[in-house]
Structure 1
Amino acid sequence: MTSPLTTPNTTPHDPAAEDLQRRRKAISALGHELRLLVDATVRTTASPETLNRLADDIRTLTGAFTGPRRAPADVPAADEFPRGLRMYSPVTGPGSPLAPPLHVTPASDGVAGTCTLGIAHEGPPGYGHGGMSAMLLDELMGWACTAAGMPGMTIGLQLRYHRLVPLQTPLHLAARVTGTDDRKIFVVGSITTDHDRSATLVSADGTFVAPDPDRARALFPSLREET
């Protein structure tokens, strides 16, 4: 379940590692079911009466999530931040009901990603929202920085939409670092369909910056004990 770009920070057969894997498996299972629910929600033509009844049922389920809740700045215990798996990422997170999710793998000159957009990601009927393309590429280009040993944050992203991105069609994404200037990192990325990688649907040029340690600690207080 961990990204192939990272090395788990736990060891096999260790109780803590086994507990972490159980938690990640449960998070992923819930995320999968929630994505199916979201898909059913945006595709249904059920009557208002049925929708109101379902809303009541879901309200009851939401109330079952008891116990402490993490604050926005807290890193989930199941994550490997900043260089690894993010379970609730809206792009790659297996636990997110919003994510496609995008699966990231190493490539010869950077990183690659695969995913399939659903109707919940629709812009024009039958095609993906342009903002989804931007989010997918922004995420993958960030992974390219990390894979090159220079984790960075986006400071500029320019996209060109060549063709519409189809829904319910396997997509292939690619990203690679093209150069650096001090702490700035320059990255390019693209989206194609998986069956025709010669026809670019969306292309992007991005500029990322690797924050210095003091800035990183100020932005992410949870890293104070680790850096």
Structure 2
Amino acid sequence: MTSAPPAPSGRAEDAGAHARRRVGKAIRDLGHAVVGHQAPADVLHGVADTLAAVTSTVGDGAPRQRELEIGGDVLGVELPEGEPIRAYDDRPFSGLASPWGVDLEVHRRGDEIEGLLMLGAAHEGAPARAHGGIVAGLFDDVFGFVLGILQQAAFTGELTVRYEAATPLHRRLACRGRLRERRGRKIWIDGELVDLETPGQPVVARAHGLFIAVDREQLRTPTAALPAPPDEA
């Protein structure tokens, strides 16, 4: 049986949310099992048939739309020091219910955010190495929690990643981010991904992000109704 991760701190437990977290965790585990293990063709066909039936059943439900908000629990409240931090459950990389998540455990360390994780088989690019896109997405998600420290809604404008070394699978990693500079609506955040299990804890990737601050009310406006962004030098 797949158990669900604990509910985000400060959010009342809800039966539907609990069930969605269980489903998200089960899908993530299945992805790693399919990619990382051999199975007979008849077993895989059976899994595919079961998943198709389940997908049809779930797809018969009414369309679901998350509130037009950003940040979930990380905006509007002070992020606690040291305790695990969660945003909205469907957040692609760190969300508890996300089928694509990396089971990220996020903590605030002073003015820095640290995300602890271990990448698995479904995240593989080159043999025994994480795909670069997974690493980039990880930085983007972790940097979003830095915006929670600042209590500022913002969108990613640019994200630059330098891959210093191969990012290993099945080893403990720490993805860290912190504010470098803020000027007007522009927010620069820097960070690195560290291999915690190799002697010396080498940096395997570094990232620099530029985020553009927005009013939280703007987030309630559907994208199609928004004006073109201003041309900022």
Same fold (TM over 0.5): yes
User: Percent of counterpart pairs with the same letter?
Assistant: 27
* Greater shift in the superposed pair: 50-59 or 125-134: 50-59
Partner of 1:13: none
Partner of 2:67: 75
SS in structure 2 of the partner of residue 45 of structure 1: coil
The aligned runs of 1:1-227 (5 Å cut-off) are: 1=6, 3=8, 8=10, 17-18=12-13, 20=14, 22-65=15-58, 66-71=60-65, 74-75=66-67, 80=72, 83=75, 85-196=87-198, 198-212=201-215, 215-219=218-222
Q: Deviations over 1:41-76 (max 9, x none)?
A: 2124333333222211221222332421214xx339
- Residues 209 and 164 of structure 1: is their aligned pair in 2 closer, same or farther, counting only changes over 3 Å? same
SS in structure 2 of the partner of residue 137 of structure 1: helix
How far apart in 1 are the matches of 2:153 and 2:145? 8
For normalisation by structure 2, the TM-score amounts to: 0.78
SS in structure 2 of the partner of residue 201 of structure 1: strand
For normalisation by structure 1, the TM-score amounts to: 0.80
* Cα RMSD for the two superposed structures: 2.6
Q: Following TM superposition, by how much is the alpha carbon of 1:39 offset from its aligned partner in structure 2, in angstroms?
A: 1.4
| Unmatched 5+ stretches in structure 2 | 1-5, 76-85, 225-233
How far apart in 1 are the matches of 2:105 and 2:124? 20
Q: Following TM superposition, by how much is the alpha carbon of 1:188 offset from its aligned partner in structure 2, in angstroms?
A: 0.2
How far apart in 2 are the matches of 1:215 and 1:75? 13
How far apart in 2 are the matches of 1:50 and 1:76? 41
- Residues 216 and 29 of structure 1: is their aligned pair in 2 closer, same or farther, counting only changes over 3 Å? closer
How far apart in 2 are the matches of 1:145 and 1:54? 40
The answer to whether the 8 A contact 2:192-2:205 is kept is: yes
Q: Following TM superposition, by how much is the alpha carbon of 1:214 offset from its aligned partner in structure 2, in angstroms?
A: 5.9
